[in-house]
C-alpha cells in the first residue's frame, strides 16, 4: 500500500498551497484540490482514486511523492572527526564570569542553579587562554578564515587578557584571514579601547536595548541595581565625537522585550547617533518551558514591521530605509528564500537542517578549559560538554549532539518540517540529557514557525501579484 504524499497543506487569505517536502517547493492549487487533498491526508490510507485532474498532473510532474528518509542522521556525521581535527572556524573564549551588570533576562542572573552558574568572580587565566588558542590553531589546517571571540560575563573586565590574546593570535594565525569579535555591555568601552580593538580587526557588538526607559527596565548595574543607559550612551557619544570613523564600525544588539512597545525602539535607533549603524534585534528568549508576555503594542507594531518588510521584498520600499525591526524581518525573509532551493527528492539518509556542527562552526571554551558547542548554553551541565583542552574532543559526544534526530527518530522521519527545522541540542537539554519531552515541545513551536514562514513566503508573492500584477 502506497504511503500518503509527504506534504504540508496550508492556506492564506488569498491562496491554497501544498508544501511538497521532497522537492522543497510550494505549489498553488485550486480550493477544490486543496479540500480533496485535505480529506485524503486525514483518512487512514491513501486512496488515489480520489485524486482530481490537478493532483494527477502534479504527480506526473514529480510532485506529491511519498518518499521519506529511511535513516535520520545528518550525512556530515561521517566527516565530524575530520572537521574537529582540521577545520575549526571560530573560537570563543569565556574570559570571565564576572559582570558589572545584572540584566534581568540574562541566564546567569536568573537561571535555575542546576542549569546555569550564577555570576561569579572567576576568570580565565592567560595559560588557559593560550592553551585554548593553541588547541584551536592546531585544528585549523584547512580553514582559511578564523575568528576568535571574547565573551563573559563582561569581557572588557579582562581587557589586559584580551590584548594578550590578540597579540598572540596575530602571531599564531599569520597567513590566515584572522578576525576577532567582542560582545560588550558598553560600560567599559572607551575611545582608546575602541581604537585598539578596531585597529586589530575586532568586531564590536554593543548590547543596547533601546531608549532609556526601555533599556533600563532590564539592564541594571550590579552594584546598586540602577539603570545603565546613561553610562553606556555617554561612552558611545564620546566615541562618535572623537573617532567617528571607528564608531561607524560598531554594531548593536537590541533584545526586544515583547511586553514593551517596540515602536520606541525603532524611533530610538533612527536617531542621528545610530541611524547608519548595523542594528540587530533579537526577541527575548523565554526560559525553557515558560512563556513570554506579548503586549498589544508589541503585537500591533510587529505586524506593521512585517508588512513593511514584505512590501520591501516586492520592491515597494528600499530595504535600507526600513525601521530596524522591520529590516530584521526583511533579512529573515531573504534568509528563508535562500532555504527554498529545489530538490529532486529527500535522500535516504538525512537529518533536519537546523544544527551547526558542534564545536566546528563555534568552539566555546569555558574559564576552566571545558569545550562546548556555543556560549548560549548551560555550562554547568555535562550534557553539552564535548571535551576539554587537556583531553581533546569526545567525537562520539559531538556526533550525538549534532544529531538531535537520534532523540526523536520516528517523529522526524514523518515530519514535514525536516528540511527547515531549527531545533538544536541547546534547546532540548534539560540539564540531565537531551530530552524527548523537550524535543516534542520545541517541535510544536518550530513547526508552527515554519508554517508561518511559508505563509509569509507565499503572502509576499500574493502581494506582488496584487501590486504589480505579476505571477
Interface with other proteins (CB under 8 A): 79, 82-83, 86-87, 89, 134, 137-138, 140-145, 171-177, 338, 356-357, 361
Pick the closer one to other proteins by CB: 138 or 396: 138
Least separation in angstroms between residue 172's CB and other proteins is: 5
Query: Smallest Cα–Cα separation from 395: which of 88, 81, 75?
Result: 81
Q: Which residues contact 440 (CB under 8 A, 6 or more apart)?
A: 408, 411
Least separation in angstroms between residue 360's CB and other proteins is: 9
Measured CA to CA, the distance from residue 335 to residue 464 in angstroms comes to 19
Pick the closer one to other proteins by CB: 87 or 212: 87
Alpha helices (H) in 354-423, listed in sequence order: 395-402, 409-413
Least separation in angstroms between residue 370's CB and other proteins is: 22
Measured CA to CA, the distance from residue 291 to residue 310 in angstroms comes to 27
Q: How many angstroms separate the Cα of 249 from the Cα of each of 54, 192, 235, 277?
A: 54, 15, 15, 8
Pick the closer one to other proteins by CB: 79 or 234: 79
Pick the closer one to other proteins by CB: 357 or 427: 357
Least separation in angstroms between residue 201's CB and other proteins is: 10
Least separation in angstroms between residue 271's CB and other proteins is: 29
Least separation in angstroms between residue 316's CB and other proteins is: 25
Pick the closer one to other proteins by CB: 290 or 338: 338
Alpha helices (H) in 185-314, listed in sequence order: 191-199, 212-218, 229-242, 244-247, 263-269, 296-313
Pick the closer one to other proteins by CB: 108 or 361: 361
Pick the closer one to other proteins by CB: 30 or 141: 141
Instruction: Identify whether the C-beta of residue 323 lies closer than 8 Å to the C-beta of residue 270.
Output: yes
Measured CA to CA, the distance from residue 214 to residue 388 in angstroms comes to 40
Provide the β-strand partners of residue 93. 150, 365
Pick the closer one to other proteins by CB: 82 or 294: 82
> How remote is the C-alpha of 115 from its chain's centroid?
20
Instruction: Identify whether the C-beta of residue 424 lies closer than 8 Å to the C-beta of residue 115.
Output: no
Provide the β-strand partners of residue 25. 20
Least separation in angstroms between residue 31's CB and other proteins is: 36
Least separation in angstroms between residue 320's CB and other proteins is: 18
Residue with C-alpha cell 527518530? 409
Q: How many angstroms separate the Cα of 347 from the Cα of each of 21, 283, 350, 418?
A: 11, 34, 6, 12
Instruction: Identify whether the C-beta of residue 101 lies closer than 8 Å to the C-beta of residue 222.
Output: yes
Least separation in angstroms between residue 276's CB and other proteins is: 21
- DSSP characters for 233-254? HHHHHHHHHH-HHHHTTEEEEE
Least separation in angstroms between residue 464's CB and other proteins is: 23
Measured CA to CA, the distance from residue 416 to residue 10 in angstroms comes to 12
Query: Smallest Cα–Cα separation from 127: which of 316, 365, 291, 386?
Result: 365
Pick the closer one to other proteins by CB: 23 or 123: 23
Pick the closer one to other proteins by CB: 201 or 253: 201
Amino acid at each position: 500500500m502506497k504511503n500518503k504524499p509527504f506534504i504540508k497543506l496550508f492556506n492564506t487569505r488569498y491562496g491554497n498551497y501544498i508544501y511538497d517536502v521532497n522537492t522543497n517547493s510550494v505549489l498553488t492549487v485550486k480550493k477544490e484540490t486543496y479540500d480533496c487533498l485535505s480529506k485524503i491526508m486525514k483518512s487512514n490510507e491513501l486512496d488515489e482514486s480520489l485524486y482530481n485532474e490537478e493532483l494527477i498532473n502534479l504527480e506526473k510532474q514529480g510532485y506529491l511523492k511519498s518518499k521519506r528518509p529511511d535513516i535520520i542522521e545528518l550525512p556530515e556525521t561521517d566527516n565530524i572527526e575530520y572537521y574537529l581535527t582540521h577545520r575549526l572556524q571560530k573560537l570563543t573564549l569565556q574570559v570571565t564570569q564576572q559582570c558589572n551588570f545584572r540584566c534581568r533576562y540574562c541566564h546567569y542572573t536568573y537561571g535555575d542553579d542546576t542549569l546555569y552558574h550564577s555570576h561569579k568572580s572567576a576568570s580565565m587565566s592567560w595559560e588557559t587562554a593560550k592553551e585554548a588558542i593553541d588547541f584551536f590553531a592546531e585544528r585549523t589546517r584547512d580553514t582559511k578564515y578564523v575568528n576568535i571571540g571574547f565573551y563573559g560575563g563582561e569581557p572588557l573586565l579582562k581587557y589586559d587578557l584580551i590584548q594578550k590574546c590578540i597579540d598572540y593570535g596575530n602571531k599564531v594565525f599569520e597567513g590566515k584571514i584572522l578576525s576577532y569579535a567582542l560582545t560588550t555591555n558598553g560600560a567599559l568601552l572607551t575611545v582608546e579601547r575602541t581604537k585598539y580593538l578596531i585597529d586589530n580587526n575586532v568586531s564590536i557588538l554593543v548590547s543596547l536595548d533601546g531608549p532609556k526607559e526601555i533599556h533600563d527596565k532590564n539592564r541594571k548595574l550590579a552594584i546598586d541595581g540602577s539603570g545603565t543607559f546613561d553610562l553606556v550612551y555617554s561612552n558611545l557619544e564620546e566615541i562618535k565625537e572623537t573617532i567617528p570613523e571607528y564608531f561607524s564600525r560598531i554594531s548593536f544588539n537590541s533584545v526586544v522585550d515583547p511586553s514593551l512597545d517596540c515602536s520606541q525602539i525603532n524611533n530610538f535607533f533612527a536617531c542621528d547617533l545610530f541611524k547608519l549603524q548595523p542594528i540587530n534585534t533579537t526577541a527575548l528568549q523565554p526560559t525553557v518551558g515558560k512563556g513570554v508576555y506579548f503586549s498589544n503594542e508589541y503585537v500591533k507594531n510587529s505586524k506593521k514591521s512585517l508588512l513593511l518588510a514584505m512590501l520591501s521584498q516586492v520592491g515597494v520600499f528600499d530595504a535600507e530605509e526600513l525601521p530596524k525591526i522591520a529590516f530584521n524581518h526583511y533579512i529573515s525573509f531573504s534568509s528563508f528564500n535562500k532555504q527554498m532551493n529545489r530538490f529532486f527528492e529527500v535522500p535516504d539518509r538525512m537529518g533536519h537542517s537546523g544544527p551547526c556542527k558542534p564545536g566546528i562552526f563555534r568552539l566555546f571554551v569555558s574559564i576552566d578549559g571545558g569545550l562546548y558547542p556555543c556560549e548560549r548554553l548551560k555550562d554547568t551541565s555535562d550534557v553539552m560538554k564535548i571535551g576539554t583542552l587537556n583531553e581533546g574532543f569526545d567525537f562520539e559526544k559531538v556526533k550525538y549532539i549534532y544529531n538531535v534526530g537520534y532523540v526523536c527518530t520516528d517523529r522526524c522521519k514523518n515530519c514535514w518540517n525536516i528540511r527547515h527545522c531549527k531545533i538544536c541540542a541547546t534547546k532540548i537539554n534539560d540539564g540531565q540529557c537531551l530530552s524527548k519531552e523537550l524535543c516534542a515541545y520545541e517541535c510544536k513551536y518550530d513547526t508552527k514557525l515554519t508554517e508561518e514562514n511559508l505563509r509569509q513566503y507565499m503572502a509576499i508573492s500574493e502581494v506582488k501579484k496584487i501590486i504589480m500584477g505579476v505571477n
